[in-house]
Amino acid sequence: MTCKDDGVRTEDVLAAIATGLWRWDNASGTVTLDSEAARLLGLPAEPVMLPEVAVRSRFHPVDWNEINGIVNLAVAEGTLAEARLRIMDEDGRVLRTVRSRSKPLENVTADGRNDYELIGTLQEIAEPQPGTTAAHTPITGDWRRSREAFLLDAGRALAEARSTAEVLRVAASLSMPGFSPDGLAVFGVAGDRLSVTGHHGHGPGDEGPFSDMGLDTDYPAAEVVRTGRAIYLPSPEDYQRRFPATWPLAQRFGRISWAFLPLIVAGRTMGAWMAAFKHPVSFSPDERSVLTTVARMLAQALQRAGVAESERELTTGLQRSMMPQLGPEIPGMTIAARYVPTGGGLQVGGDWYDMIPLPSGRFALVIGDVQGHDVRAAGLMGQLRIAVRAYASEGHRPDAVLSRASRFLAGLCSSQEHPAGSGSPDPDFHSPRFATCLYVECDPATGLLEVARAGHPDPAVRMADGTVLMRPTAGGLPLGIVPDTDYPTTRFTLEPGETMMLCTDGLIETGGHDLDTGWARLRAILESDTLDPDSPDASGPSEGHLERLADLLVQAVHGPSSHHTTGPLADRREDDIAVVLLCRESADCGCGTPPLHPSRPPRRTMLTVAQAEPERLSGARRQVRELLHDWADPEQVDSAVLMVSEMVTNVLVHTDGDAVLVAEAAGELGTRRLRVEVADASDELPHKRHPGEMASSGRGVLLMEMLADTWGVDPRGAGKSIWFELYERSKPDDDVED
């Protein structure tokens, strides 16, 4: 090849300036070099065609990895690939450093694959270090290390962003090595139009002209979305030349350089990212590589955030529809409730509560827990809640409501275990499920509660003076295990000033607790002095006080909460939580708070121990201890527990009926009287015996005579009542609680 004017060969001119030509065919894996390019690579100075591996062996391994990424970027963007390369000899020493500039040309191979070939130049630059080893020389080492550190930090920050707003804040705070932009914008696509998802470095309202722009507009972001290729504009002249129609929109911001990059996820262009600079940027291959990497990470972060926000919106709507607000106000009663879902993404679980107006004028409180925390548990919960509400609204009694609900759940799980047309269903998803449930029918006029329980934790009652008792109730199997199951009903009265707590096991057992230690934790909250209305932390009596108590119970397990807790706090949940508080108001005190007057109302508890449930004897002993939790003399408490155990056991052993325990503590602290009665249906009166040393029974009357201050037997119409009384021994003055 020669120049037309003087006949000088182009090859000679290129050789004079130490520049060679090469052609790299990626499809065939061959490289064609002219004589100068061959010399620069340490080969004989003559034209040659070599296999790719032979040429690759001449490059420093680190530089080869660099140029490979640069070429792929140039192919994707349709731009020049420019890089500096160290040439190695056969002994691993650096011969020289060359600059490569090449243009990738795409072509389609015979088998239909998209491939490319590079056509470009190799030029020696004044950075060679002959005689050094193959150790990495500091060509661009500092910049590369800064870039790698920046990309690691950027990737970590974008991966941790949970919402679109957080992603945009992270993108705005990125400080790119050596060329940080001062203006950013993220464009989305809505149909055939651009939308501005977010921006930084602009004033309010500046996004107006760009927020509803058609994709066919002569604007860089629109072209990027249409083509999927990045656009780099190093100067205002480049911008004005390529996009004259929209140049006036960009001119007023006073920027010097712009980069518009596609936001691509899974091969689909979901938008564009603009980085604008107030200083000139040449957009070298290294700079384009950084921008492209950030754009990819930004696209993935925006995609994750969008999916997460859609899921949160869906689950929040599902949660609101499945967790109804408590019903209208009930005269003489105050109700508060909390629901806290578990983590794992889905903000609806298997726990629920409900308040149901009944045809009789009463109302029902329901709390339940469907096995599992997944989508199916939430679906079953919604269906079961509707079924329970329907059965209750028909006027069925508590036992009938739970029996029908158990039959409904068993049939529902059976039909889902082998769904029609499902092929081979997932055994985990379609396996049978059960649910626990506590159903309470309440008469607001009298405070009478009728409780039916299906494998659920018992309710707890906080008395007017602050004493807290777990109320043992009769119960049956969880719902759905056996279709036809009976659920006995327990009746007791909620006295004025008392508060009943219903909860799921998530409130009790979260944090590594079992039922006993978890209950002790909750009991301490229910009895806490901060509930006193005179306390500066108290929010006041009645409804406000009950709402505060509900918050304190949840905070005892998980920290600050709200009526429906979602977000990062929800992700730390071990189990769903539902809690309902019902307070029967009194005239002289705040709901569930100690009375303001020195006169204390009596504490009273009642418990039935059936012949078929002798294990409830331990519950009777615990009831007495909890009733006397602040009794002055611990020895008297032990005596009372021993006598109760003896009296109830005597009924279970010597009669065919159930034992009904009633205990009441009345009076002022230090001078109280405990009266305990155990009634049964037998007419046979107890009599004093003289058991021998080895006898295992017969000491009941002797114990009563020794331990009780007074005792007796009262015959009744059908049966009798055995009773005893203990009188509290006063503490020393400095120990007496006021």
Q: Does pLDDT of 639 surpass 90?
A: yes
What's the confidence (pLDDT) of residue 571? 41
Dist CA 432 CA 416 (whole Å): 8
Q: Does pLDDT of 54 surpass 70?
A: yes
- β-strand partners of 478: none
Task: Average the pLDDT over 256-275 and give the result.
Answer: 90
Cβ-Cβ contacts under 8 Å for 419 (sequence gap 6 or more): 425, 430
Q: Quick one: pLDDT band at residue 501, thresholds 50, 70, 90?
A: very high
Kindly tell me if the per-residue pLDDT of 372 is higher than 90: no
The reported pLDDT for the residue numbered 143 is 56
Structure tokens at 629: 């939790």
Say what the pLDDT of residue 732 is.
47
**Cα 721 → chain centroid:** 55
Residue 109 has pLDDT above 80, yes or no: no
pLDDT confidence band for 113 (50 / 70 / 90): low
Cα gap 191→244, rounded to integer Å: 25
Q: How far, in Å, CA of 594 to CA of 439, rounded?
A: 28
The two three-digit tokens of residue 290, written as one number? 């950084």
Mind listing the pLDDT tens digit for each residue in 169-210?
A: 887 777 666 667 888 888 988 888 888 888 877 777 777 778
Look at residue 391 in the predicted model and tell me its pLDDT: 94
Is pLDDT above 60 for 129?
no
Q: Which residues, at least 6 apart from 387, have a Cβ–Cβ distance to it below 8 Å?
A: 404, 405, 408, 409
pLDDT given for residue 99 in this prediction: 83
Question: How many Å apart are CA 118 and CA 320, to the nearest integer?
Answer: 60
pLDDT at 595: 44
Residue type, 161: A
User: Which 8-state DSSP code applies to residue 436?
Assistant: E
Residue ranges of alpha helices (H) inside 161-212 are: 164-173
Model confidence pLDDT, tens digit, residues 435-493:
999 999 999 999 999 999 999 999 999 988 888 988 888 889 999 888 888 999 998 88
Q: How far apart are CA 157 and CA 166, in angstroms?
A: 10
Q: Is the pLDDT of residue 360 over 70?
A: yes
Widest distance between CA atoms in the chain: 141
Question: What's the pLDDT score for residue 598?
Answer: 47
Per-residue pLDDT, 710: 93
- Say how far apart CA 290 and CA 272 lie, in whole Å: 16
d(CA 174, CA 184): 10
Mean pLDDT computed over every residue of the chain: 79
CA–CA dist 682, 652 (Å, integer): 11
- The per-residue pLDDT for range 279-308, each reduced to its tens digit, is 888 888 778 888 888 888 888 888 888 888
Distance between CA 615 and CA 587 in Å, rounded? 39
Mean pLDDT within 224-245 = 92
Residue 226 in this model has a pLDDT that exceeds 60 = yes
Give the C-alpha separation, 202 to 692, whole Å. Answer: 98
Alpha-carbon distance values, 699 to 197, 643, 688, 702 (Å): 83, 10, 8, 5
pLDDT at 134: 36
